């Protein structure tokens, strides 16, 4: 039997099984007989595919494979598009989230290319992976999961907004999804600021998401760039994002403006920045500083201004109004600034490490900030580095390390005034893993599906038995940290399988014993 015939036999058996399962009025005896025949055909075709052909070429380790499209077709059936590179002679199988092979086909072209596969069956909604395998059943490569939601692509987009919420319009969403609202903070990070569950049945419609974040300086929802992200609760491999959109605090008419400061409290002599925006209806906009001897200055409807705090302590209000430099301004919006004496102010500090655990990654980013400080140091492993008052640094520790960020505020040396400190710990962790099979026991010649998952790992490989005793044939390649592999139950007894996992610093292992009995 050639690999083409074996693949065709498997395809025909899968088609028959799909037909039987979709015919509810079929007599039970006929259904049982058909299922028994198709299961036997699937088993024989799978065994044949593992025994045919030559050994895997040495260059196969660099093979890549991806699913780029899945779509319904007319007449009933569907199409699937695969892209591959550096591919030897191979078979391709499509696997669902339960680890079940739903389609197998020979890949007749080697090297790089695109494969358009017409499938005479219709697959249900869900995630699917493609796997290229050799004639010895060794896995060349496994694609990333592809989520199939139907013929019309799912989408989500911004629709409208109020002063504290935004509305999204969505189409053809799968069942069981939720929507997150993300806000881009001044540091360029996307933070979740709202969440809502979409109807359990998915479909198309609109959803309103309340913004839960409030700016402590203004007491209002922060303006800026937002976007929607939807995810499927039961399948984390599926997600979709909208294009970013601007939140301006809802539709506004007439006279309005917003003014904010980049700092709520400032030390005398410290710089701060005021930023404002307003409607075109503001005539001759003016900024007014509310202190004794304060002044007014003409400004545009939208702008920013850098200022230096005067001697403190004191509270100053800055107001945007209309009416020009003469007369009393028509006040529209204001912001309060708290100016404190430099000799009174105690520093505030913050620092975070991303990621805080290394293993699958070799480096981490420390990011820190401070207020009311004129000298900061970073202390670690008995060292002390003078650093900027706010900044970041890439670090590459080789062991678990505590980084201590210390800032002081003193007009003199910078060491004798009030101080504050915080610590970020970066942990070096060993990888962990689990290894399971799709069944608890097997008959000789059956296909065994091994599935593994790991945490904090970079890659995995199967331990190779070199003792000379009979053992299951396992691939000797470097594998992904989490994945799936199919082997044949070729040894009687209780053969063990051990998976070795590695990261940049440590290694670990997990095992499973596989009972195999005679047919």
**CA 302-305-306 angle, 5° bins:** 160
The per-residue pLDDT for 8 is: 61
The per-residue pLDDT for 106 is: 81
Burial 277-300 (b: 16+ CB within 10 A, else e): bbeeebeebbbbbeeeeeebeebe
Distances (CA, A) of 235 to 146, 148, 201: 11, 12, 15
**CA 261-221-181 angle, 5° bins:** 125
Multiple choice CATH, 257-338, 2.60.40.1930, 3.40.50.920, 3.50.50.60, 3.30.70.1290: 2.60.40.1930
pLDDT (average), residues 295-318: 77
Mean pLDDT of the chain: 79
The per-residue pLDDT for 190 is: 84
- Residue 156 clears pLDDT 70, i.e. is over it: yes
Question: What are the residue ranges of helices labelled H in 395-513?
Answer: none
The residue ranking higher by pLDDT, 169 or 380, is 380
How is domain 3-148 classified at the architecture level of CATH? Sandwich (2.60)
The per-residue pLDDT for 100 is: 80
Residue 25, judged by CB atoms within 10 A of its CB (0-12, 13-18, 19+), counts as: exposed
Whether residue 363 has a cis bond before it, omega within 30° of 0 = no
Cα dihedral across residues 335, 338, 342, 347: positive or negative: negative
Multiple choice CATH, 432-517, 3.40.470.10, 3.40.50.1860, 2.60.40.10, 3.30.428.10: 2.60.40.10
The per-residue pLDDT for 305 is: 84
Quick one: tokens of 242? 């909208």
- Residue 172 clears pLDDT 80, i.e. is over it: no
Question: Domain 155-247 belongs to what topology?
Answer: Immunoglobulin-like (2.60.40)
The per-residue pLDDT for 56 is: 39
Q: Which residues 6+ apart lie within 8 Å of 328 measured at CB?
A: none
The per-residue pLDDT for 459 is: 92
The per-residue pLDDT for 55 is: 35
12-21, 149-158, 163-172, 442-451: segment of lowest average pLDDT: 12-21
Q: Which residues 6+ apart lie within 8 Å of 143 measured at CB?
A: 65, 66, 67, 82, 129, 130, 131
Among residues 402, 365, 405, the alpha carbon closest in space to that of 385 is found at 405
Domain layout of the chain by residue ranges: 3-148, 155-247, 257-338, 348-428, 432-517
pLDDT (average), residues 226-239: 74
Q: d(Cα 54, Cα 353) in Å, to the nearest integer?
A: 50
- Residue 22 clears pLDDT 70, i.e. is over it: no
pTM over 0.75: no
Long-range CB pairs of 19-28 (<8 Å, 24+ gap) are: none
The per-residue pLDDT for 261 is: 80
- Residue 57 clears pLDDT 50, i.e. is over it: no
14-18, 357-361, 485-489: segment of lowest average pLDDT: 14-18
- Residue 96 clears pLDDT 90, i.e. is over it: no
Q: Which residues 6+ apart lie within 8 Å of 74 measured at CB?
A: none
pLDDT (average), residues 426-445: 93
151-160, 263-272, 285-294, 484-493: segment of lowest average pLDDT: 285-294
The per-residue pLDDT for 343 is: 60
pLDDT digit string (tens) for 97-133? Answer: 777 888 888 887 888 888 888 877 777 777 788 998 8
Domains 3-148 and 348-428 share a fold: yes
Starting from the edge strand earliest in sequence, which strands make up the sheet with 286-290, in order?
265-267, 330-340, 314-322, 286-290, 296-298
Burial 311-334 (b: 16+ CB within 10 A, else e): ebeeebebbbbbbeeeeebbebbe
Question: Domain 348-428 belongs to what topology?
Answer: Immunoglobulin-like (2.60.40)
pLDDT digit string (tens) for 24-41? Answer: 666 766 666 666 666 666
pLDDT digit string (tens) for 321-378? Answer: 877 777 666 777 787 777 776 565 678 899 999 999 999 888 999 999 998 888 899 9
């Amino acid at each position: 039997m050639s690999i083409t015939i074996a693949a065709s036999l498997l395809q025909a058996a899968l088609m028959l099984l799909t037909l039987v399962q979709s015919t509810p009025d079929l007599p039970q005896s006929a259904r049982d007989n058909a299922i028994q025949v198709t299961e036997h055909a699937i088993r024989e075709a799978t065994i044949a595919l593992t025994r045919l052909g030559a050994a895997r070429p040495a260059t196969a380790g660099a093979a890549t494979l991806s699913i780029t499209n899945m779509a319904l077709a007319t007449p009933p059936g569907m199409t699937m598009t695969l892209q591959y590179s550096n591919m030897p002679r191979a078979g391709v199988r499509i696997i669902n989230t339960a680890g079940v092979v739903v389609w197998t086909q020979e890949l007749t072209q080697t090297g790089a290319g695109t494969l358009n596969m017409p499938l005479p069956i219709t697959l249900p909604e869900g995630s699917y992976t493609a796997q290229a395998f050799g004639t010895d059943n060794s896995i060349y490569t496994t694609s990333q999961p592809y989520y199939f939601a139907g013929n019309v692509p799912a989408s989500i987009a911004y629709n409208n907004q109020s002063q504290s919420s935004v509305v999204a319009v969505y189409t053809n969403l799968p069942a069981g999804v939720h929507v997150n609202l993300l806000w881009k903070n001044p540091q360029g990070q996307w933070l979740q600021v709202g969440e809502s569950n979409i109807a359990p049945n998915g479909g198309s419609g609109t959803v309103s998401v309340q913004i839960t974040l409030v700016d402590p300086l203004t007491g209002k929802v922060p303006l800026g760039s937002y976007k929607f992200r939807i995810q499927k609760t039961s399948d984390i491999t599926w997600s979709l994002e909208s294009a970013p959109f601007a939140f301006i605090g809802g539709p506004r008419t007439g006279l309005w403006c917003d003014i904010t400061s980049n700092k709520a409290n400032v030390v005398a002599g410290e710089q701060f920045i005021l930023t404002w925006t307003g409607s075109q209806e503001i005539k001759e906009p003016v900024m007014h500083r509310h202190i004794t001897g304060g002044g007014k200055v003409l400004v545009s409807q939208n702008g920013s201004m850098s200022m230096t705090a005067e001697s403190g302590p004191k509270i100053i209000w800055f107001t945007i109004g209309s009416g020009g430099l003469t007369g009393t301004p028509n006040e529209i919006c204001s912001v309060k600034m708290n100016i404190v004496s430099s000799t009174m102010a105690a520093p505030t500090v913050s620092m975070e490490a991303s990621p805080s655990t290394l293993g699958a990654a070799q480096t981490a980013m420390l990011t820190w900030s401070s207020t009311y400080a004129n000298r900061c140091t970073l202390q670690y492993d008995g060292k002390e580095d003078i650093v900027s008052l706010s900044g970041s640094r890439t670090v590459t520790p080789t062991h678990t390390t505590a980084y201590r960020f210390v800032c002081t505020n003193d007009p003199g040396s910078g060491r004798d005034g009030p101080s504050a400190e915080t610590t970020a710990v970066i942990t070096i962790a060993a990888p962990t893993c689990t290894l399971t099979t799709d069944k608890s026991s097997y008959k000789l010649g059956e296909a065994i599906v091994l599935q593994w998952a790991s945490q904090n790992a970079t890659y995995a490989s199967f331990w190779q038995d070199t003792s000379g005793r009979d053992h299951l044939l396992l691939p000797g390649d470097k594998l992904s940290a989490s994945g799936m592999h199919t082997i044949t139950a070729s040894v009687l007894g209780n053969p063990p399988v051990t998976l070795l996992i590695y990261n940049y610093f440590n290694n670990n292992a997990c095992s499973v014993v596989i009972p195999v009995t005679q047919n």
